[in-house]
Amino acid sequence: MVQFAADAVMTTRAIKLIVLDRDGVINRDSDQFIKTPDEWRPIPGSLEAIARLNHAGFRVVVATNQSGIGRGLFDMAMLNAIHEKMHRALALAGGRLEAVFYCPHTADAECECRKPKPGILREIGRRFGVDMSGVPCIGDSLRDLQAAEAVGAQPMLVLTGKGEKTLREGNFPKNTVIFPDLAFAASALLAGD
């Protein structure tokens, strides 16, 4: 079952949607997980990139695996506090997220919402009334790219977080577009808009 942090309002008109992974794309990642608001630190330029996308009419959504919940490393109240810090920081930069969708399960659960499975992206498409074909999905790990490919979205790899490791290991979808970070990805998307 897909869980989400904010209800998205379905719309009947075409919208410009972009899906971002959280850790390693918007904020710095940690092998020990981001467990508190103090550990959540934005990657330089990421918040401003989201604001630029918003101002150009993009609706920005986060899709993130948060297995730290399933592992007992933090609870829902702490995840909400982390996301509240992210929302406040984004607002100060002039940006916003439409919704944060997350999977709280560990890999052992084999749920459909944990990337690389595409359940979380399918739910985003359903909630927003959008065919996910061609929707930019930006991540730093192979599982982000595989989930995007599974729904026909456009996989985009950033080299922040685990991105350089993902690039070195290869085996990502052949149509993956690669950028140094979210700011570069946003500039490319805005130039082609």
Catalytic residues: 21, 23
Q: What is the dihedral of CA 186, 147, 106, 40, to 10 degrees?
A: 0
Q: What is the DSSP letter of 26?
A: T
Cα separation of 64 and 138, whole Å? 11
- Render 97-157 in DSSP notation, one character per residue: -SEEEEE---GGG--SSSTTSSHHHHHHHHHHT---TT-EEEESSHHHHHHHHHTT-EEEE
Q: Of 124, 28, 18, 115, which is closest to residue 65 (Cα–Cα)? A: 115
Beta strands across the sheet bearing 177-179: 3-4, 99-103, 58-65, 16-20, 136-139, 154-158, 177-179
Query: With contact defined as beta carbons under 8 Å apart, do 86 and 40 qualify?
Result: yes
Tokens at 81, concatenated: 């506090």
Interatomic CA distance for residues 189 and 185, integer angstroms:
6
